Amino acid sequence: MHQPEEIIKDRYRILKPLGKGGIATTYAAHDLDMGQEVAIKALSLRRLKDWKSLELFEREGRVLSQLNHPGIPNYLDYFQLDTDDDRRFYIVQEIAPGKSLQDWVESGWHPTELEVRDLAQQLLEILVYLHQISPPVIHRDIKPPNIIRQSEGKILLIDFGAVKDTYRHTMTSGSTLVGTYGYMAPEQFRGQAEPATDLYGLGATLLFLLTHKTPADFPEKRLKIDFRPSVNISPELGDWLERLLEPLVEDRFISAVEALAVLQSKKAISKVIKERVPERSANHHQLAGSRVFLKITPGKLEVKIPFLGWKLQSLSLIVIITILNVYLVAAVWLAAIQSLAILSFLFLLLGLEIKLLGNFLLNQFGRVSLEFDETQFYLTWNFLGIQRKIQGNIHHISSVQVFPTWLSIQNYPIITCALQMRFKTYRFGSGLTQTEREWIAMEIAAFLGKPHLIKR
């Protein structure tokens, strides 16, 4: 939007672009009134693809104006300018001198364990400050490009474009998926964020510094990043880092305060866990707004999907299939008079249609119960007195998936969860929202230690 030497608001002279993000461009500029260099983040209304981007930008400005910490560049100004064909919004901050951690690594920097500890301590002190604000400020995009390191080792956290200033769980339909793949905690894929979400981003960033590999490039074991063979660090730091990278938010440190205390005291992780208040024997997971019941106890996982109500679109598909079955019955009667071969074929087709309708009714409207223990799984569907029950060995499950079926209603494919085996696929949950399906698939996969795939 702007060229070097251009003057904005009769005050800020553009020097050079610093970077371009998903919705805005940041420039280095000279403040003619104050005689200092600043960073200006600019957003063009004309170039917006959706209004959510403007909401995020305004939220960033509002949150920055409330912050005061030596590890965060000071907020200076927020304004908008109108042109003949556009409206532009601007956030002005003190410029952060130094290079991003991404640039440090690309220039060949290999930090020592002591340097990694110092960097982690500084970042945790910033997160302690952010998370203790009421309501907590959650950055949601902790990653190497958003962390500036000065030559003497001081750390600054920048780019609050993904910031979340409300501490609550939300459904994806009412939130925006923000973050960077590889550095995003699993709950962010469900549109959720809480203070421990930033701890995952911190752990992923430290792993990048230690290995020069993005976290997404590491293999996984039971959905956890398997980084131990790739790092040469003390066991205590390895345990601490592993705690930051736990895929389940309740298995991470409960706060930045706790993570910082453990890092500074060098206490063993096992001792820290014993010092906590004992957890309930049953761990009940709940997604905001969902009626699905999920319960995890030692060695057992239960998922119960209730009857979710009649849906007009789904009923229209039932009518179509029923009409088709009526035509097939008529065709069978006519074929009985004419040809035995045609009759056999139509009977086969009618059987497939009836099975299709039955499975559709069970998946779309039935109550579904899933139970997993250490060796077996039980999957039960119930609908209007009709019951189907499957029992199998969990070792035969290759993955847990979410994918569209070949059926569609008004050009929208019916999407389902599935336990994928070598030769069989057991589907369930087509009446759920996409957020609920992805949540259930991830929880089951995490319990089983199997990969989970989401196809769109």
Catalytically active residues are 141
Q: How far apart are CA 119 and CA 127, in angstroms?
A: 12
> Sign of dihedral through CA atoms 269, 275, 276, 280?
positive
> Token match 């009421």: residue?
134
> CA neighbours within 13 Å on the CB side: how many for 84?
0
Q: How far apart are CA 453 and CA 245, in angstroms?
A: 20
